[in-house]
Structure 1
């Protein structure tokens, strides 16, 4: 059972009802805890309801279920999308302070931090009897999600006014922003507290699969140290780095201090429904989602659609209206050029992209009988079934979206291709969309995807550890070469004999493409501006999938950060100006 089955009920019971794009976020910004919070603190089970609600704020559609996830995925150099959720990542006019996918995650992260503060400050009022371990776990969860919320805010919006405690009076609902160094200190201290209170792996029952542990806190703490070292070097004024601290946190996980974590036997296990949470030895921090197969009304806060992962913007061209995404050709080529030790195309490509696997540059793996293993799309269809040749033309150009023509691949990660084709009772393909004229598969119902987001997995810990050591951090159990080769071996890649930062950066592309990390990799390496400038000059189709006129280009010293939402600008007198360029 996924933990979010419980979360949805708590959101409902707590009267936090969303309705489309209503003004509820404005209300939350004024008082993030409009529901009667005191009602939560009558028993340990009631405290649990309050704790689980924090997960719900993070996982709801308007946070990481749709808006925030597209901010992280499409904003990088890997992909383009024509979805409303993803438009800010296309660097056009919609990247502004009033766009809802920028405003909503911002508000919900602060809501999470506010809820966490209430739990931390109030939990001692509840008698836990001999359940001290459970009480500590709840406290640890509160510290963790407060840190996570501020980490998201800092790495995306830069200007942050931390929620260090629950409001004491009306004046506390608006707070001054603090220097990034102060916010980093706050995040790090909260994660240290979370690590101290949270249980090791194995504490939570199967009914609570997906709840955070000490390893979750250690991994995010190491990530905070790593990100701080790079971001503040290139965009701040800090001269101190924290690579040894980062390496130490990752090393504890590698050593198994908090329980055994290891790479899943198959790379693909990280992107399916069968191997989620406890079924995946690689999962350290997993954002859980439900699936609403019927797409029966959008109302975050209900058990059917509020906590789904909306795959809008990732779906294949021609399969929906306004839902599609494409991968940029440089990423396709990166995989094509990655050949394993047996002469086959990097197996990770087949879990990341949907493409024409009949092309001569693709070296298909073989089954036990020597037959090629074909890449399957929705409904088990191959590329030529999805995109049949028409008038001598093949590929995306046969579809309704002509702008997809120059792209070689669609997006597979984050979309459940195993879902069947949706049919009518007579077996015919169900037609929906504008005028009822678009073929839709169940997979293409954008809120039907219940696939969890493995936000931090063990492979990431290994490569972040290697990065920290390569940058001067103290080495622990493994050398950077050992750590990188461990990741490569799962994909049957030949071992490297030496390793540089260039090797590590390349491996992160192959291992984590389209998982929401790439933008922040480039950010902390100080390479965002040069990378976007390079692609804008080399690729005439870069970020032009929505409209050739919409793309305005990446602007250095502006687009590293999202704008502070206009509602916050208008209501918080302490914020005198928005981020540069907005």
Structure 2
């Protein structure tokens, strides 16, 4: 019997936050170093799924600070204006502090889970060498590659030139060379080409072994995203065309509940970070810490439901943009209004009269009271108190976090076509109008790039920084100069965390 002992040290693995008692304690909690030691019998093929489950667990265990730091710099979203995370607010204003703990934690958290995926891929190869089903092993490798691709994609968008790990040993970073953002995106595209054929051609909610897990269409989506960053529009169109032609995905009619409990494993979702309280009012709950996004002060419809921390708000610029378009479905879903926020909108004479439905009471009956940090909160990160499992009180407990939606695929497809690509799967007009129809808007004819960009602004606000990275790619920098912000192209990327510069000399002096 062949046994292989191995020890894997993952740099700075941020423990998933399952419970919390004080906002300040969690906000300033440093990343933890963890060492995992494991003895595995690779001749036991039935155990091969274990490292796959471990890879998903690491992937889903996103540090709560990952998403807001990736997302806060667009003109769709603002930091909460007051509080003890001043450098988060400064980041939103394009004033960067390389010593800020959140930068280091994002870097370490993403790389930790990339190394977890790398380690799992080696394990799958060892199982295959020892008699495991080759097709299953190849599928699991492809799943790990796709999760790794998502993490590398975020790293390159945030920092530009980054490392592409070649082995599961973090010590390799001491001698590794940096890859340009373009090289990283090409690497992701090539990796997805390797993965696509080995993944099941099903919707994630059709998988029975790992329900909601990665499928062929997740890899195609990652290929499309990487090629969009490279402005390889034909490759974007080719990848999105395969997703569209599969017939596996559709837009959810109920936009409001798409982002809530009824939206879990929805037909619209292509990649989804899954969490659960297992339907129990107490005990173990695997959850993302949504409190960061929630209002500090509310009167929930269900007494005792906990409030949030108020650090993330839809921008007034975006709200006015949506009002100008006559939007209701997406605006009402995406924004939790306070009375102070409503008054701020009305302070502009052009918006002195607002639709009657704009209220500080949500469609689910939760009352959003005024609070100091922000005037609005993100409705896409809101779980109504009446959707909490009875007994649970933590803000957003049991809610999933959506990574990639079919709506984004349709709009990327349209963008590729108006940029000169071709496709027989769907026209740009049809793709944009499918998204507009769900939002209750009239159809367009002969859509332009400006109209596609506006539609992405409306549809994907507050989601993974999509708006910011669109503006950067299209060099529409002036849009980022709003509400006292001053942006220039040299501010595109965050500085490397000083803690990493101190450990990895190659990072020193590589950014201006």
Tell me the TM-score range normalised by the shorter chain: 0.7 to 0.9
Deviations 1:327-365 (A, max 9, x none): 2222221222223xxxxx43111111123699842165x
Q: Distance in 2 between matches of 1:122 and 1:211?
A: 19
Aligned to 1:463: 411
Aligned to 1:532: 480
- From 262, 268, 275, the equivalent of 1:274 is 262
- From 301, 309, 317, the equivalent of 1:330 is 317
Structure 1 unaligned residues grouped into runs of 5+: 1-10, 29-33, 230-241, 297-302, 340-344, 365-372, 388-395, 425-440, 538-552
Question: How far 1:228 sits from its partner (Å)?
Answer: 1.8
Alpha-carbon distance change, 100 to 153 in structure 1, aligned in 2, over 3 angstroms? same
Question: How far 1:185 sits from its partner (Å)?
Answer: 2.3
Do the aligned residues in 2 keep the contact of 1:67 with 1:86 (CA within 8 Å)?
no
Question: How far 1:57 sits from its partner (Å)?
Answer: 2.6
Question: How far 1:463 sits from its partner (Å)?
Answer: 0.4
Alpha-carbon distance change, 182 to 247 in structure 1, aligned in 2, over 3 angstroms? same
Structure 2 unaligned residues grouped into runs of 5+: 1-7, 18-25, 299-306, 344-351
- From 272, 278, 282, the equivalent of 1:286 is 272
Do the aligned residues in 2 keep the contact of 1:346 with 1:493 (CA within 8 Å)?
no
Aligned to 2:240: 250
How many residues align? The count is 467
Q: Is 2:82 the partner of 1:88?
A: no
Q: Is 2:365 the partner of 1:380?
A: yes
Aligned to 2:251: 263
Do the aligned residues in 1 keep the contact of 2:68 with 2:312 (CA within 8 Å)?
no
Alpha-carbon distance change, 294 to 135 in structure 1, aligned in 2, over 3 angstroms? closer
Q: Distance in 1 between matches of 2:425 and 2:39?
A: 47
Do the aligned residues in 1 keep the contact of 2:110 with 2:151 (CA within 8 Å)?
yes
Q: Is 2:371 the partner of 1:362?
A: no
Aligned to 1:54, the other structure's residue is in SS state: helix
Equivalences for 1:142-161 in 2 at 5 Å?
142-161=144-163
Q: Is 2:341 the partner of 1:348?
A: no
Do the aligned residues in 1 keep the contact of 2:279 with 2:389 (CA within 8 Å)?
no
Aligned to 2:185: 184
Aligned to 2:5: none
Deviations 1:24-73 (A, max 9, x none): 65x46xxxxx31355374534543222222223332242xxx11111133
Aligned to 1:454, the other structure's residue is in SS state: strand
Equivalences for 1:206-245 in 2 at 5 Å?
206=208, 208-229=210-231, 242-245=232-235
Q: Is 2:417 the partner of 1:473?
A: no
Q: Distance in 1 between matches of 2:167 and 2:115?
A: 8
Deviations 1:120-157 (A, max 9, x none): 33423215867444323211111112222211111111
- From 489, 493, 497, the equivalent of 1:557 is 489
Q: Distance in 1 between matches of 2:390 and 2:236?
A: 51
Alpha-carbon distance change, 272 to 115 in structure 1, aligned in 2, over 3 angstroms? same
- From 276, 289, 294, the equivalent of 1:310 is 289
Q: Is 2:469 the partner of 1:520?
A: yes
Do the aligned residues in 2 keep the contact of 1:199 with 1:214 (CA within 8 Å)?
yes
Aligned to 2:110: 109
Do the aligned residues in 2 keep the contact of 1:558 with 1:579 (CA within 8 Å)?
no
Do the aligned residues in 1 keep the contact of 2:186 with 2:226 (CA within 8 Å)?
no
Question: How far 1:261 sits from its partner (Å)?
Answer: 0.9
Q: Distance in 1 between matches of 2:101 and 2:41?
A: 30
Deviations 1:399-443 (A, max 9, x none): 4x2x64xx4x4321111023479999xxxxxxxxxxxxxxxx93x
- From 61, 73, 76, the equivalent of 2:74 is 76
Q: Normalization by structure 1: what TM-score?
A: 0.71
Aligned to 1:579: 511
The RMSD of aligned alpha carbons is 3.6
- From 403, 417, 436, the equivalent of 2:384 is 417
Question: How far 1:318 sits from its partner (Å)?
Answer: 3.2
Question: How far 1:530 sits from its partner (Å)?
Answer: 1.2
- From 500, 510, 532, the equivalent of 2:458 is 510
Q: Distance in 2 between matches of 1:482 and 1:183?
A: 32
Question: How far 1:84 sits from its partner (Å)?
Answer: 5.8
Alpha-carbon distance change, 350 to 378 in structure 1, aligned in 2, over 3 angstroms? closer
Alpha-carbon distance change, 317 to 109 in structure 1, aligned in 2, over 3 angstroms? closer
Aligned to 2:261, the other structure's residue is in SS state: coil
Q: Please say which of residues 498-507 and 174-183 is displaced more in the overlay.
A: 174-183
Do the aligned residues in 1 keep the contact of 2:273 with 2:403 (CA within 8 Å)?
yes
Do the aligned residues in 2 keep the contact of 1:316 with 1:326 (CA within 8 Å)?
no
Do the aligned residues in 2 keep the contact of 1:196 with 1:214 (CA within 8 Å)?
yes
Q: Distance in 1 between matches of 2:506 and 2:361?
A: 53
Aligned to 1:494, the other structure's residue is in SS state: coil
Q: Normalization by structure 2: what TM-score?
A: 0.80
- From 379, 402, 408, the equivalent of 1:454 is 402
Aligned to 1:438: none
Aligned to 1:316, the other structure's residue is in SS state: coil
Deviations 1:259-309 (A, max 9, x none): 5111112222321112211xx11111112234699999xxxxxx946x522
Question: How far 1:317 sits from its partner (Å)?
Answer: 4.8
Do the aligned residues in 2 keep the contact of 1:41 with 1:126 (CA within 8 Å)?
yes
Do the aligned residues in 2 keep the contact of 1:317 with 1:326 (CA within 8 Å)?
no
